């Protein structure tokens, strides 16, 4: 993982107040240009960076594009500058970049040493690899939320002082002089020395001297303009999203209403079909009733004179039975039903207390015996009728077969 090329700062490193305003602006942005940090830790990130600036002014925050090994890019915060260290009783400044990844501060930041073109990374350094990535125990043992950037820089300074990670390149003399001037010492000709970069700060985009104030005002207006545009974009995005949701809700309501109307249409069609079928059946029944009425009225007209001649007719003599078995079946059935009515009357009488219980039992026993005899007789008569009917049908079939 290699650090991206340095980018120009978008704030004034010489003004702590403006740096705090810059952090507040970039961490409060919303929409596509917002930084990919969790909302619940953005204030803590701001506090870490503000404390770092107060403790180590040589490190200044900025935003830049970070590129992962898979080619994915993301806009992140970084602290860019130098970390002081003491080596052989002299103070040197090691250029570093501290990247605050998306998972910060729950996970440790990513620290690079940023050598200039006159510097090289020391080979086989215990805490810095050849790509410039720093790995010290404080980063490995990072604990949220107690770990912070101030302690990280203090640890970086401590470990860099024990073993400086950068050295200056040895530039050969293009015009070697075989006779060095007097007083020149060759005791260090074969050795290298730690990098001693000057204590510099990142260049300011607002210029220097008398034009700095004008550049700062211009940049502030640009930042305000960008923030206003971002706010308008966010509001427009929210309005469009709200309108889209409202239209989706309206469409969903219309689709639901359409489904209800279709179901009701099917129910109405089914109901109309059922009513038409019922109407047709009623018309057929009406025709049958009218036909039967005509038949009965014709029979009454035909037999009206006969009824007048006969006069009063006995109900028992109104039906004439065709054979002896039918007369016996009628008698048994009438007796069975009559006994059933008598037993029912006895049940009501015993419930009302009209007869004694022993008399009730005696009468029910006698009637039940008699009812059983009538039912057994009716069963035998029915079997005889069935046999006679079968014999009659067999005789008719034999006649048909002979003819």
The 3 state secondary structure assigned to 8-45 is CCCCCCCCHHHHHHHHHHHHHCCCCCCCCCCHHHHHHH
Fill in the DSSP letter of residue 86: E
Q: What's residue 201's pLDDT? A: 40
Q: Note the pTM of the prediction, 2 decimals.
A: 0.42
Q: What's residue 208's pLDDT? A: 39
Q: What's residue 155's pLDDT? A: 92
**Spatial separation of the C-alpha atoms in residues 177 and 154, rounded to whole Å:** 44
Residue found by looking up tokens 């009623």 in the block? 282
**Spatial separation of the C-alpha atoms in residues 120 and 183, rounded to whole Å:** 30
Q: Is 3 exposed, middle or buried (0-12, 13-18, 19+ CB in 10 A)?
A: buried
For 174, the 3-state DSSP assignment is: coil
Q: Torsions phi, psi of 313, nearest 5?
A: -110, 135
Output the CA–CA distances (angstroms, integers) from residue 243 to 50, 229, 335, in the order listed: 40, 21, 88
Strand-pairing partners, residue 113, are 96
Degrees to nearest 5, angle at CA 195 with 189 and 197 = 130
Q: What's residue 17's pLDDT? A: 79
Fill in the DSSP letter of residue 88: T
Output the CA–CA distances (angstroms, integers) from residue 17 to 11, 21, 78, 225, in the order listed: 11, 6, 18, 20
Q: Which of 51, 119, 56 is nearest to 83 (CA)?
A: 56
CA 303 to chain centre: 86
Q: Torsions phi, psi of 179, nearest 5?
A: -120, 90
For 268, the 3-state DSSP assignment is: helix
Q: What's residue 31's pLDDT? A: 77
For 115, the 3-state DSSP assignment is: coil
Per-residue pLDDT of the chain (403 residues; tens, 9 = 90+): 444 444 444 444 456 777 888 888 888 888 777 888 888 888 889 889 988 888 888 898 999 999 888 888 888 999 999 999 888 888 888 899 999 998 898 899 999 998 888 888 888 888 898 888 998 999 988 988 888 999 999 999 999 888 888 888 766 555 544 444 433 333 333 334 444 444 444 443 333 344 444 444 556 677 778 778 878 888 898 899 889 889 988 998 999 999 999 999 999 999 999 999 999 999 999 999 999 999 989 888 887 777 676 666 666 666 677 788 888 898 999 999 999 999 999 999 999 989 999 999 999 999 999 999 999 999 999 999 899 888 888 887 777 666 5
**Spatial separation of the C-alpha atoms in residues 234 and 242, rounded to whole Å:** 12
Q: Which residues touch 30 (CB under 8 Å, ≥6 apart)?
A: 230, 231, 234
Degrees to nearest 5, angle at CA 220 with 218 and 223 = 115
Q: Which residues touch 24 (CB under 8 Å, ≥6 apart)?
A: 46
**Spatial separation of the C-alpha atoms in residues 65 and 67, rounded to whole Å:** 7
Task: Give yes or no for a contact between 194 and 165, defined as CB atoms under 8 angstroms apart.
Answer: no
Output the CA–CA distances (angstroms, integers) from residue 67 to 4, 64, 78, 111, 185, in the order listed: 7, 10, 13, 14, 47
Task: Give yes or no for a contact between 49 and 86, defined as CB atoms under 8 angstroms apart.
Answer: no
Q: What's residue 293's pLDDT? A: 93
**Spatial separation of the C-alpha atoms in residues 219 and 11, rounded to whole Å:** 8
Alpha-carbon Rg for the chain, nearest whole angstrom, is: 57
């Amino acid at each position: 993982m290699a650090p991206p090329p340095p980018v120009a700062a978008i704030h004034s490193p010489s003004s702590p107040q403006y740096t705090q305003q810059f952090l507040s602006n970039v961490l409060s942005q919303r929409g596509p240009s917002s930084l990919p940090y969790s909302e619940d830790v953005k204030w803590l990130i701001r506090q870490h960076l503000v404390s770092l600036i107060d403790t180590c002014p040589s490190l200044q925050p900025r935003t830049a594009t970070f590129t992962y090994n898979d080619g994915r890019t993301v806009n992140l915060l970084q602290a860019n500058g130098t970390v002081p260290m003491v080596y052989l009783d002299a103070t040197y400044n090691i250029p570093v970049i501290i990247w605050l990844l998306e998972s910060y501060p729950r996970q440790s930041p990513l620290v690079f040493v940023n050598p200039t073109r006159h510097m090289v990374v020391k080979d086989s350094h215990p805490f810095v690899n050849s790509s410039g990535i720093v790995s010290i125990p404080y980063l490995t043992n990072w604990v949220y939320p107690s770990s912070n950037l101030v302690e990280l820089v203090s640890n970086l300074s401590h470990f860099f002082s024990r073993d400086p990670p950068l050295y200056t390149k040895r530039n050969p003399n293009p015009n070697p002089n075989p006779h060095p001037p007097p007083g020149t010492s060759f005791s260090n000709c074969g050795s290298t020395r730690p990098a001693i970069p000057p204590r510099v700060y990142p260049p300011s985009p607002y210029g220097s001297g008398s034009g700095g104030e004008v550049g700062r005002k211009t940049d502030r207006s640009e930042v305000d303009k960008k923030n206003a545009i971002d706010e308008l974009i966010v509001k427009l995005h929210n309005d469009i999203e709200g309108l889209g949701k409202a239209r989706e809700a309206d469409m969903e309501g219309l689709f639901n209403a359409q489904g209800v109307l279709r179901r009701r249409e099917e129910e109405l069609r089914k109901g109309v079909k059922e009513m038409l079928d019922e109407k047709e059946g009623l018309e057929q029944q009406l025709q049958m009733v009218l036909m039967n009425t005509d038949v009965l009225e014709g029979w009454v007209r035909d037999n009206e004179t006969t009824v007048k001649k006969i006069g009063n007719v006995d109900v028992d003599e109104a039906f004439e039975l065709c054979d002896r078995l039918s007369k016996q079946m009628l008698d048994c059935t009438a007796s069975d039903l009559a006994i059933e009515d008598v037993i029912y009357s006895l049940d009501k009488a015993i419930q009302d207390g009209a007869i004694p219980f022993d008399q009730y039992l005696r009468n029910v026993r006698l009637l039940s015996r008699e009812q059983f005899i009538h039912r057994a007789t009716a069963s035998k008569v029915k079997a005889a009728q069935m046999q006679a009917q079968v014999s009659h049908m067999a005789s008719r079939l034999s006649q048909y077969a002979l003819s």
